[in-house]
Structure 1
Amino acid sequence: MPWLLPCQVSSSPSQRECERTAFSFYCAVRERLPVWMLEDMRRMEVFGWEDGPRAFLPSEALLYALVHDHQSYARFLLSEHLVDALRPRRCSLCRRSATPHLAVAVRYDRVPILGLMLAAVKERPPQDFLDRRGGCSHVADAGKTAVQLAVELSRPDCLLLLLVHGAPPCGLDAALQRLVASDSIDRRSAQRCLDLLLLFLPEPPAERRLRDQSHLWQSLLGNDVFSWLCGLAPPPLLLQALRCLARSGPDQITALPDFLQLHTWQ
């Protein structure tokens, strides 16, 4: 994986052995071996050569669990090594913070593990955890929060979890553009992401630029939402009711019957 193994040619037998051992651990997580076996492998002090032998870090192990959707291993790491498991890792090239765990969960659409992480830090979230941005320029998600990434990738289930747990509802412009750019297959997910952002925005900015293409936006958003975003009218009554319901938990929204789902306010 790029965050563990630098792109370089090994120059010594010890380096090559570290690479082989690290890849074995990667394969073991991919095969979803039992947690006790993975922990035995993780603690082996043969994974590093730059700073001498060291064990595989819980934060690195959690990234592998995210990529391969090993939910039981992720649950163990979060319960036994919460702070260390969620500690921002460093890019091996520039030594800056790279992609946060929340962003990885969103990119791979790991909704159950994302829920585990958010539940684990519900009482005392680490500083800037929910709006942490990737600072490394070597990854595609640099400078983006998990919410922004969920909007750009049209991950409504991930977005709802993040918003319910207090992540800032940023990315309205990206959600609007995503709705326009989406084809008929992806438009439902893009629409749902936009709807969720609208539920959690304290006060949406007056999007006066929407008036320049009023016919397009009215057809996509509905007249009531369009007028609200343009600052011409209050929010629809159903939207106001759903805003209160959404803040009580993700299950409250997803369990609604179809005639009360988000699209019905338009």
Structure 2
Amino acid sequence: MTWEWAVIWEYLPRLWQGALLTLELVFFSGLIGIILAVPLALMRASHNWVLRALPFAYIFFFRGTPLLVQIFLIYYGAAQFDIVKDSSLWPILKEPYWCAIIAFSLNTAAYSAELIRGAIQAIPKGELEVSQALGMSRATMIRRIILPRSFGIVFPAYSNELLLMLKGSALASTITLLDLTGMARTIIARTYTPLEMFFAAGMMYLIIAAVMIGCFRLLERRINRYQYYKLDQSQR
């Protein structure tokens, strides 16, 4: 067996095109997902069981079913209903790109909401009591105390969720999108070099993941800089 290095170099620009689409899917899905996750988490952390019921059902469904099934339900399932085809949403739902964005966003929103909910409940009660003693309204407390503290607590776990989304984005190729995995499969169909192409694609995923991990660590140090300051002080 001979290793076809020349094939990797020849198709490397095409693989980078797929990698850019993968990054685009992860970025927009992560952004939309965190926007959806915040109100879901606040509702889940509420003492009102009515407010908790709807996000609980949503989170239970998206955490309990495979991401691939969710992609197929949105991409293939929406086309089965005439009311969807006749609606203004059809130009979006008929495109595999937007279906992948929707599926990834809804999926990561469910996981992120549970992470944020746990972080909210991990905030020391003393901090909330001090906020109430200072006369803060509930909205001000959420904006200035609860959300900043919860993001600081949840950030390490949320970075792992985005890394999982990076790897899960490979499923976009199942609905004809030429992301990194989809591009590799297309090249393999032309060159019959599966080992070389999947190795190259795997190395690209590894590089992207390494860069993301480095960025997350820098952001974590900035978000939780007061904790690192205390740690540095205690070590002196």
TM-score normalised by the shorter chain: which range applies? under 0.3
- More relative contact order, 1 or 2 (CA 8 Å, 6+ apart): 2
TM-score normalised by L of structure 2: 0.26
TM-score normalised by L of structure 1: 0.24
